Structure 1
Amino acid sequence: MHESKTNSNIVPVMAILGAVLLWGSAFAAMKHLVATLNPWAVMWMRTGIATLALAPFTTRLAGPVRNGKDRFALAIMALFMPCLYFLFESYALTYTSATQAGLISASLPLMVAVGAGIFFKEKTTLWGWSGLALSIAGVAALTMSGAPTDSASNPALGNSLELIAMACAAGYMLLVKRLAANYGPWTLTAVQNAAGCIFFLPGLYLLVRDGLGQDPLSILIVAAYLGVFVTLGAFGLYNVGMSRLPAGKASAFINLVPAIAAFFGWIILGETLTVLQGMASILIFAGVGLAQRGELIRKDLRAISSLVKNSGRTETAS
């Protein structure tokens, strides 16, 4: 029985790990593209390829969009992701390294937790606020300790833009939390990609005007990887995991993205961190860990309190 349960968890865990691996690798892939192409051209290629890949299945997978408030909410969701998120992140990667941008993404789960507390009245504990503050302090330290290099010409500007991109991603996730009750994941994905194609349409003009650089095959391969595997594949894999694992356990895997981004930045782009940046990175992870550990402590205390109360009631009854 226990062995069967363990085996049933292997598939969703592997699916989520696959999604996280793809998301972590996206920073280095994006850095490679924006080194050659204008960010608008990169993002039009990414959303355009994803839309083409999804188009044959849209009628079967995506449902109709309702009138009223849903249309406004869907428009704001698409504005946050992919439009503003991709815009800020692609420009961020022209100024900072893929490694530093990936590390800043560690603050995303905390932003979502705090946003849920503000907009959905979900309780955010003191641990959560403290973890967010520590994580943001780490981002600030990472930004201020960065000196211009070949891979990061202006890390202060790039890291600031990446932090704004994370805020847009958090807004997107909060809207999806509400919209997911009425729409399936592929409907939301179809809306996002279609909106991205329209928003980044000026990139098509830049692409035609400037071309694909001196190595067009490499550019097309990386763009296809981002469009098909990262934009669509990672989303599908993560939803497979989310459908079979508790949300808290599934979302915890997102914290692996910064480490994977740093690994690919080192292996593919040869990026490294200074000692001060390494210490700042530890602060970011410590903030995330504080929030998660604090939540576990809070649940343990609640369980102990409930146990004590039940024990008291049993003794009284006897």
Structure 2
Amino acid sequence: MQRTKTENRSDANIIPVAAVLGAVLLWGSAFAAMKHLVGNLNPWAVMWMRTGIATLVLTPFAARLAGPVRKGKDRVALALMALFMPCLYFLFESYALTFTSATQAGLVSASLPLMVAVGAGIFFKEKTSVWGWSGLAISMLGVAALTMSGAPSADAANPALGNTLELCAMACAAGYMLLVKRLSASYGPWTITAVQNAAGCLFFLPGLYLLLRDGLGPEPGSVLAVAAYLGAFVTLGAFGLYNVGMSRLPAGKASAFINLVPAIAAFFGWIILDETLTFLQIMASGIIFAGVAMAQRGERIRQDLKRICGLAVPRADTASR
């Protein structure tokens, strides 16, 4: 029985969609794991362990999976991508989690898809509608409300500073995603992933000194297990999966899955760290999600209303007949 083009296209989308969903699940769980590690180690040591373990795992397969890097502008773009992610992104996020809770940091990440959409409009000339800009503004308002409503607590010593640093991390992540979309036309996902991990391992090399100086803290077994999970599964696995998805899906569609990260982060923050949100923080979270929903669904709603009105109200030339 011959398959239709629609069925073949649907099957072709299953792999990249599943890859992006897997990456999002891993990223959502990383907030609680990172919060645990930065409570025991210096953030630089944590970041070196993440990128170092990921590089160690990938190295035996690099010759088979990763291809050569061409000279010229590609090297500049790859270097900028690696600077954004993992270098600056990990730096901002690791320090953010020393000041705010994993749940609040995860909620701030809801602003990422809108940053990607705006960036695509600026750099790729993709049009951003009024709904998109309005959604971004509302989402940023929600992030500000979440930041201002957070009072210091045992799991969030300075939420205003922590959430601001997390927002900086999201800006770096947006730059990374836009560059990956450009580079994926020339390089395979594992080449991009290998460049990221090698650059991060070098950038966070001072963390190795801190690790050797201070050790693994009072719970070395727990720290090693969590670091292995973050390095092998989140740093390597999630980036690899997401790069696979970005190479086969539109940037906007791939980044939209990031909306699941806050819910996943809040779930793991509650289960693992026993974190909770105040009523004001829940309201602020609702504002963030409302902005995201407006940006993603607003234009479709406008088109639906226009079509309905067009059907309900006859045109002047038709009515005169």
Compute the TM-score of the two structures, normalised by the length of structure 1: 0.89
Cα distance 1:299–1:183, how it changes in 2: closer, same or farther (>3 A)?
farther
Q: Give the whole-Å Cα distance in 2 for the aligned partners of 1:45 and 1:72.
A: 26
Opposite residue 121 of structure 2, the aligned amino acid is: G
Aligned to 1:264: 268
Opposite residue 107 of structure 2, the aligned amino acid is: L
Q: Give the whole-Å Cα distance in 2 for the aligned partners of 1:175 and 1:239.
A: 11
Counterpart selection for 1:45 from 24, 46, 49: 49
Instruction: Give the superposition deviation at 1:18.
Output: 2.5
1:61-89 alpha-carbon deviations (Å, 9 max, x no partner): 11111111111111111111110000000
Contact 2:119 2:178 in 1 (8 A): yes
Q: Give the whole-Å Cα distance in 2 for the aligned partners of 1:35 and 1:151.
A: 10
Give unpaired runs (5+ residues) of structure 2: 316-321
The answer on 1:235 being equivalent to 2:259 is no
Q: Give the whole-Å Cα distance in 2 for the aligned partners of 1:184 and 1:13.
A: 17
Cα distance 1:274–1:201, how it changes in 2: closer, same or farther (>3 A)?
same
Opposite residue 282 of structure 1, the aligned amino acid is: G
Aligned to 1:191: 195
Q: Give the whole-Å Cα distance in 2 for the aligned partners of 1:191 and 1:11.
A: 23
Aligned to 2:300: 296
The answer on 1:125 being equivalent to 2:115 is no
Aligned to 2:146: 142
Instruction: Give the superposition deviation at 1:4.
Output: 6.7
The answer on 1:168 being equivalent to 2:172 is yes
Aligned to 2:20: 16
Instruction: Give the superposition deviation at 1:175.
Output: 1.4
Over aligned residues, Cα RMSD in angstroms? 2.5
The answer on 1:83 being equivalent to 2:83 is no
Q: Give the whole-Å Cα distance in 2 for the aligned partners of 1:244 and 1:195.
A: 25
Aligned to 2:33: 29
Opposite residue 109 of structure 2, the aligned amino acid is: S
Give unpaired runs (5+ residues) of structure 1: 313-318
1:28-78 alpha-carbon deviations (Å, 9 max, x no partner): 000000000000000000000000111011111111111111111111111
1:103-123 alpha-carbon deviations (Å, 9 max, x no partner): 000000000100111122111
Instruction: Give the superposition deviation at 1:189.
Output: 0.8
How many equivalent pairs are there?
307
Q: Give the whole-Å Cα distance in 2 for the aligned partners of 1:82 and 1:268.
A: 25
Q: Give the whole-Å Cα distance in 2 for the aligned partners of 1:293 and 1:115.
A: 19
The answer on 1:203 being equivalent to 2:207 is yes
Cα distance 1:205–1:239, how it changes in 2: closer, same or farther (>3 A)?
closer
Aligned to 1:64: 68
Equivalent residue of 1:276, what SS?
helix
The answer on 1:113 being equivalent to 2:109 is no
Calculate percent identity across the aligned residue pairs: 81
Q: Give the whole-Å Cα distance in 2 for the aligned partners of 1:11 and 1:170.
A: 23
Aligned to 2:318: none
Q: Give the whole-Å Cα distance in 2 for the aligned partners of 1:243 and 1:45.
A: 28
Bigger shift: residues 136-145 or 180-189: 180-189
Q: Give the whole-Å Cα distance in 2 for the aligned partners of 1:98 and 1:251.
A: 21
Bigger shift: residues 115-124 or 148-157: 115-124
Bigger shift: residues 243-252 or 133-142: 243-252
Contact 2:181 2:246 in 1 (8 A): no
Equivalent residue of 2:70, what SS?
coil
Q: Give the whole-Å Cα distance in 1 for the aligned partners of 2:192 and 2:14.
A: 27
Compute the TM-score of the two structures, normalised by the length of structure 2: 0.88
Q: Give the whole-Å Cα distance in 2 for the aligned partners of 1:246 and 1:85.
A: 23
The answer on 1:55 being equivalent to 2:59 is yes
Cα distance 1:79–1:163, how it changes in 2: closer, same or farther (>3 A)?
same
Cα distance 1:80–1:248, how it changes in 2: closer, same or farther (>3 A)?
closer
Aligned to 2:224: 220
Q: Give the whole-Å Cα distance in 1 for the aligned partners of 2:134 and 2:114.
A: 10
Aligned to 1:180: 184
Bigger shift: residues 166-175 or 197-206: 166-175
Instruction: Give the superposition deviation at 1:251.
Output: 3.5
1:192-216 alpha-carbon deviations (Å, 9 max, x no partner): 1111011100000000000001111
